[in-house]
């Protein structure tokens, strides 16, 4: 069969709401875990074995494939549960099992389940590709590979006619968006990232054993002086508070017709007032939001100016603290460009880009002055707030979307509408 250049877009799902969001978004296939036998085993929300038939039915009705991730390291005492889950997956009509442990692969093949080699197998070269082609029709390449290395492997598969058990040319899967783990079992990349000295080459600095605390994170990433970015298509003027901002926030504001004035993290309310701006954007940034008491005091003063405010990520958290709410450190954090969030006003679910380790505590929000706007579908944490006492709203995710989905760019429309009033 000739090699086909068809791209299959995959999306993860950890709940029926996120599954539905992936299918509505046009995913060609969805991968998901069940119980404790996958890399999402500690997630707050996860599927159960009893959910398998409904998952498969929903996917197939939408014309998508359903892939079960069974990609952890498996111990002897777990083999019985692995076999039972594979049997249930086959009965439910799951299209393939994503695995890296040979015990899982061997059993799945023995009962006729298609196997995809997980990224946990760290497939980095053609020799490994050929080895795993004995068992799998799809190989997920290691996330550390360059585009040139990926191209070489794909071209070699075509040239050498490497086929999987189905008799078709081996297919290749790569990660386009998502979290890049620091470590996978014993294959740790922390030392390489911090000191350019690889543990996988016998040169680990063991920096994971050292205590640390991030200090002055916002100050160290913020601009030092006020900077005006002229825009010939200016409709409004926006003060962009730089707490470690992503450049695409500025680009997005300019695209909507704003002349942006980038302001250091410690810019005061008096300075903002003197700039005669129509709106204030609070940017993303690093670290614990509660470590910024000066910023919080300045925001409390800015709130009295009556100028529309839009906060993103850290800006969302800082605005909440300025209103007397509380934040908390998440156990694992939210990373990647595939996080589902739900608009509590409309009930619609959006796919968002996120990168944060802290969240506003929903229980701390004073309903007399604010209300939750968005929540995370997976763990129900606060993803957005609308304020009643001031012209302001904020979101935990990144609607400027670079890289990532553009589902929530309408929030910039809302901000600009507020500035026109």
Catalytic sites, residue numbers: 313, 398, 400
H or E element at residue 341: strand 327-343
Q: Could you give the strand order of the β-sheet that contains 382-387, starting from the edge strand earlier in sequence?
A: 227-229, 258-263, 236-241, 279-282, 309-312, 392-395, 382-387, 370-376, 327-343, 349-360
H or E element at residue 339: strand 327-343
349 vs 376: CA distance, rounded Å: 9
Range 240-271 burial, b when 16+ CB lie within 10 A, else e: bbbbbbbebbbebbbebebbbbbbbbebebee
205 vs 199: CA distance, rounded Å: 8
239 vs 257: CA distance, rounded Å: 13
DSSP 3-state of 375: strand
31 contact partners, CB below 8 Å, separation of at least 6: 10, 11, 12, 13, 67, 68, 69, 98
171 vs 117: CA distance, rounded Å: 10
Long-range contacts at 296-302 (CB < 8 A, ≥ 24 apart): 296/321, 296/322, 298/266, 298/267, 298/268, 298/269, 301/268, 301/269, 301/270, 302/269, 302/272
| Token pair for 119 | 């990224």
Phi, psi of 242 (to 5 degrees): -95, 100
CB count in 10 Å sphere of residue 24: 12
The answer to whether 13 touches 343, Cβ cutoff 8 Å, is no
């Amino acid at each position: 069969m000739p090699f086909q250049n068809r791209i299959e877009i995959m999306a993860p799902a950890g709940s029926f709401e996120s599954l539905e969001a992936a299918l509505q978004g046009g995913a060609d296939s969805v991968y998901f875990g069940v119980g404790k036998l996958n890399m999402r085993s500690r997630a707050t929300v996860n599927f159960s074995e009893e959910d398998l038939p409904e998952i498969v039915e929903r996917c197939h009705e939408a014309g998508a494939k359903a892939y079960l991730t069974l990609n952890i390291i498996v111990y002897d005492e777990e083999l019985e549960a692995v076999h039972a889950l594979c049997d249930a997956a086959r009965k439910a009509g799951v299209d393939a099992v994503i695995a890296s442990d040979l015990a899982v692969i061997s059993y799945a093949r023995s009962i006729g389940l298609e196997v995809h080699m997980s990224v946990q197998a760290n497939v980095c070269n053609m020799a490994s590709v050929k080895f795993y082609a004995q068992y799998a029709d799809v190989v997920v390449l290691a996330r550390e590979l360059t585009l040139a290395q990926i191209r070489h492997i794909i071209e070699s598969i075509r040239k050498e006619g490497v086929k999987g058990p189905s008799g078709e040319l081996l297919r290749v899967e790569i990660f386009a968006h998502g979290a890049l783990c620091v470590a996978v079992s014993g294959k740790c990349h922390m030392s390489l990232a911090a000191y350019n000295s690889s543990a996988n080459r016998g040169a680990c600095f063991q920096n994971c054993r050292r205590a640390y605390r991030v200090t002055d994170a916002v100050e160290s990433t913020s601009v030092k002086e006020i900077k005006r970015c002229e825009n010939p298509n200016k409709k409004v003027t926006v003060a962009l508070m730089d707490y470690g901002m992503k450049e695409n926030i500025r680009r997005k504001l300019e695209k909507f017709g704003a002349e942006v004035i980038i302001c250091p993290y410690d810019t005061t309310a008096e300075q903002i007032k003197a700039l005669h701006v129509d709106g204030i954007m609070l940017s993303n940034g690093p670290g614990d939001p509660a470590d910024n008491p000066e910023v919080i005091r300045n925001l409390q003063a800015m709130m009295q100016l009556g100028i529309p405010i839009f906060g993103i990520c850290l800006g969302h958290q800082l605005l909440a603290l300025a209103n007397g709410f509380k934040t908390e450190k998440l156990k694992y954090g939210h990373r990647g460009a595939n996080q589902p969030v739900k608009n509590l006003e409309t009930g619609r679910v959006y796919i968002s880009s996120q990168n944060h380790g802290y969240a506003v505590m929903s229980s701390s929000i004073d309903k007399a002055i604010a209300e939750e706007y968005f929540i995370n579908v997976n763990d129900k944490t606060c993803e957005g707030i609308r304020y009643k006492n001031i012209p302001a709203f904020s979101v935990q995710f990144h609607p400027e979307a670079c890289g990532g989905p553009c589902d929530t760019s309408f929030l910039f429309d809302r901000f600009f509408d507020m500035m026109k009033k």
